[in-house]
């Protein structure tokens, strides 16, 4: 897994090279426009992670598969990390362009709601006693929480928002910027996949780790006693 992590790091460094050395500076916004590449890529990676949570939840409820539940848990955490990056980078772009870090427009608000839904999902997993009941409840939260993903994505077309509209489908980017964006998006999706895989292994090992009483019986000292 360390090799995959190194590959993902190398891919992100290559993307950074394109963002800072290859992509031209925007004539209107200046250097701050370069935030766009990772901001949008992180948002797409978060959508992908939440789609995995949805899939994991459906498979868990359908087949009662523990592996699907672990996958959903892993993807939810990675999705929240990417949504955090999206929100903070967006705020740091908004300040010089709009003059404010935050406005309550449809895209920003729905993204914040998305972050809260999946942060709530993780909270449910942490607070509820581990078992089938918690997994079932979390699967339902994960499935219904995904409803917010299309709301976030189409908010700029459904409502009049301050947030810029779609630029890729409207062919609004010059070729160098488009290439930089596509490469960054591919590298970010790869990083997200690696993070989910690592997290999945952590969840598997955590599930298999003996309970503290069993650890004491076997003569091992639990981490808390060290």
Partner 1 sequence: MMYLIPAYAFAVLVLGGYLAWSLRRLRELSRTMGTAKALPPRGGGAGVGAAEAAKALPPGQGGAPGSGSARPAP
Contact flag: residue 95 with partner 1 (CB under 8 A): yes
Question: Which span (89-97, 102-110, 121-129, 130-138) binds partner 1, by CB under 8 A?
Answer: 89-97
Q: Which of 10, 14, 88, 172 binds partner 1 (CB under 8 A)?
A: 88
Q: Judged by CB under 8 A, which of 7, 14, 92, 100 binds partner 1?
A: 92
Q: Is 84 in the site for partner 1 (CB under 8 A)?
A: yes
What does DSSP assign to residue 129?
A: P
Burial (CB < 10 A; 0-12, 13-18, 19+), residue 99, is exposed
Calpha distance 83→70 (Å, rounded): 20
Quote the least distance from Cβ 90 to partner 1, whole Å. Answer: 9
Taking CB under 8 A as the rule, does residue 12 contact partner 1? yes
Three-state SS at 26: strand
Smallest distance, Å, CB 92 to partner 1? 4
Q: Is residue 117 part of the contact set for partner 1 (CB under 8 A)?
A: no
Residue appearing with tokens 């427009």: 105
Distance of CA 153 to the CA centre of its chain: 14
Q: Which stretch binds partner 1 (CB under 8 A): 93-101, 131-139, 148-156, 162-170?
A: 93-101
Q: Which residues fall within 8 angstroms of residue 163, CB to CB, at 6 or more apart? A: 105, 106, 107, 108, 155, 156
Tokens, residue 33: 């426009």
Q: In degrees to the nearest 10, what's the CA dihedral of 147, 43, 83, 66?
A: 60
Cα distance between residue 97 and residue 163, in whole Å:
11
Residues 13-72 that bind partner 1 (CB under 8 A): 16, 31-32, 34-35, 38-39, 42
Residue 118 binds partner 1, judged by CB under 8 A:
no
Token pair in block for residue 143: 């499935």
Q: Is 218 in the site for partner 1 (CB under 8 A)?
A: yes
Longest dimension (CA), the chain: 68
Print the binding letters for residues 64-83 with partner 1: x by CB under 8 A, - otherwise.
-----------------x--
Q: At its nearest, how many Å lie between partner 1 and the CB of residue 202?
A: 5
Q: Which residues bind partner 1 (CB under 8 A)?
A: 1-2, 5, 8-9, 12, 16, 31-32, 34-35, 38-39, 42, 81, 84-85, 88-89, 92-93, 95-96, 191, 194-195, 198-199, 201-202, 205-206, 208-210, 215, 217-220
């Amino acid at each position: 897994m360390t090799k995959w992590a190194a590959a993902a790091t190398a891919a992100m460094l290559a993307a950074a090279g394109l963002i800072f050395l290859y992509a031209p500076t925007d004539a209107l916004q200046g250097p701050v426009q370069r935030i766009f590449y990772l901001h949008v890529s992180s948002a797409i990676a978060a959508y992908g992670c939440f789609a995995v949570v949805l899939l994991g939840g459906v498979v868990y409820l359908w087949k009662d598969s523990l592996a699907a539940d672990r996958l959903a848990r892993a993807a939810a955490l990675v999705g929240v990390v990417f949504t955090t990056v999206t929100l903070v980078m967006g705020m740091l772009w908004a300040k010089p362009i709009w003059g404010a870090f935050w406005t309550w427009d449809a895209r920003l608000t729905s993204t914040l709601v998305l972050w809260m839904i999946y942060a709530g999902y993780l909270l449910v997993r942490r607070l509820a006693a581990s078992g089938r009941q918690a997994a079932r409840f979390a699967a339902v939260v994960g499935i219904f929480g995904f409803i917010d993903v299309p709301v976030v994505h189409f908010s700029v077309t459904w409502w009049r928002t301050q947030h810029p509209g779609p630029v890729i489908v409207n062919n609004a980017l010059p070729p160098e910027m488009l290439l930089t964006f596509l490469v960054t998006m591919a590298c970010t999706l790869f990083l997200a996949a690696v993070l989910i895989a690592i997290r999945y292994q952590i969840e598997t090992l955590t599930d298999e780790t003996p309970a503290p009483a069993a650890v004491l019986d076997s003569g091992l000292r639990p981490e808390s006693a060290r």
